[in-house]
Amino acid sequence: MLHVGINGFGTIGKRVADAVRTQPDMTVAGVAKRSPNFEAAIAHDRGYDLYAAGDDGHDFAAADLPTAGTVDDMIQESDVVVDTTPGGVGATNADRYADHDTPAIFQGGEAADVAEVSFNARANYDAAVGADSARVVSCNTTGLSRLLAPLEETYGVEKARVTLVRRGGDPGQTSRGPINDTLPDPVEIPSHHGPDVKTVFPDLEIDTMGMKVPTTQMHTHSVNVTLDANPDASEVRDLLSRESRLFLIPETLGIDGAGKLKEYTRDAGRPRGDVWENCIWAESVTVSDGDLYCFQAIHQEADVIPENVDAIRALSERTASAETSIQRTNDALGVGRGLVEHEEPARHADSAADD
């Protein structure tokens, strides 16, 4: 049984903890919180051992939240630590994990050099096996890596061009909005997303442009990939629908955007309505002279969660292969569960002229 500590119990940390808890080969060693806020109360209610992070004098006892020790005690109790502190804070914790000789997983808000490898389970699981540290790439980079990996393997990618229409903030981030605007963000081109994808696929040609819009629901990617081959769209849909973390939204569901997607996963009984899969509108998948186009939606709070679980297994070297880990994570967490599968209409061979 792998003992996993989670440092930082916010949007990503609480989801990682709950996902770890579902896995048959893992248990939550504890979660570290800086302040005794509502998320600390939830951690306590769920039975996670609570450890105090930071020395800024927050009084957990006064909030009736007993702690099991300090963040260093939690790291000592853990086989692997997942750092889910805010972007930039993770790097300041790196020495601490190294001092305890505890492998550590960082998040996409950190610079790539925080860890030995930038990680996506579908694209480069093996690169993290046995490493001391890995960075699970950001929600957007995770979404692009999952889509590009099968395209690159099957057809070869000459160049990818993606416009990322990003949510202005998460639902709990009252400091971020709402904005009443459509912002080029960043204004510089390419946006940081393309170089980040290249930390996973060093040889890939990719340009990205970023925008921000007034929604907290999900990101939407407008994708164009120039392939080295010229498959027809139904072949590409077949390929993508065989990927366990890609959901091809069937046209029949009448899902026109992120709002209905999240309503759908809430109705399906997902925890917090989380959408762990990339959601690709099936009818948007179009190929013209080797140029593939599609739209996909990415739930920023959720898609990196199964990747963190796989990264834990990779660092701990307890699982033989990416496929085994991905399958185990998916089964225990419920990735793909409750979603109607896209079915490509049966293809009929062209009738011979003399039929």
Which residues in this chain contact ligand NAD in the complex, by CB under 6 A?
7-13, 32, 34-35, 39, 53-54, 84-87, 89, 107-110, 138-139, 170, 300-301, 304
Task: Kindly tell me which of 92 and 324 has the beta carbon lying closer to ligand NAD.
Answer: 92
DSSP class per residue in 33-79: ESS-SHHHHHHHHTTPPEEE-SSS---TGGGT----EEHHHHHHH-S
Residue 225's contacts (CB-CB under 8 Å, 6 or more residues apart) are: 148, 151, 157, 159, 160, 161, 291, 292
Task: Kindly tell me which of 67 and 319 has the beta carbon lying closer to ligand NAD.
Answer: 67
Using left for φ > 0, alpha for ψ between -120 and 50, and beta otherwise, residue 178 falls in beta
Residue 192's contacts (CB-CB under 8 Å, 6 or more residues apart) are: 186, 210
CB of 147 to ligand NAD, least distance (A): 17
What is each CA distance from 275 to 24, 260, 333, in whole angstroms? 22, 12, 11
- Asked if 139 is an active-site residue, the reply is yes
Beta-strand (E) ranges in 116-218? 117-119, 133-136, 157-167, 183-184, 206-213
CB of 224 to ligand NAD, least distance (A): 24
CB of 227 to ligand NAD, least distance (A): 28
Task: Kindly tell me which of 53 and 233 has the beta carbon lying closer to ligand NAD.
Answer: 53
The amino acid that residue 235 corresponds to is E
What sign does the CA torsion over 340, 263, 278, 305 have? negative
* Position with the least CB separation from ligand NAD: 10
Backbone angles phi, psi at 194, to 5 degrees: -60, -55
Task: Kindly tell me which of 167 and 328 has the beta carbon lying closer to ligand NAD.
Answer: 167
CB of 78 to ligand NAD, least distance (A): 14
Task: Kindly tell me which of 236 and 298 has the beta carbon lying closer to ligand NAD.
Answer: 298
CB of 350 to ligand NAD, least distance (A): 46
Q: Which of 139, 236, 285, 312 is catalytic?
A: 139
Q: Kindly list the catalytic residues.
A: 139
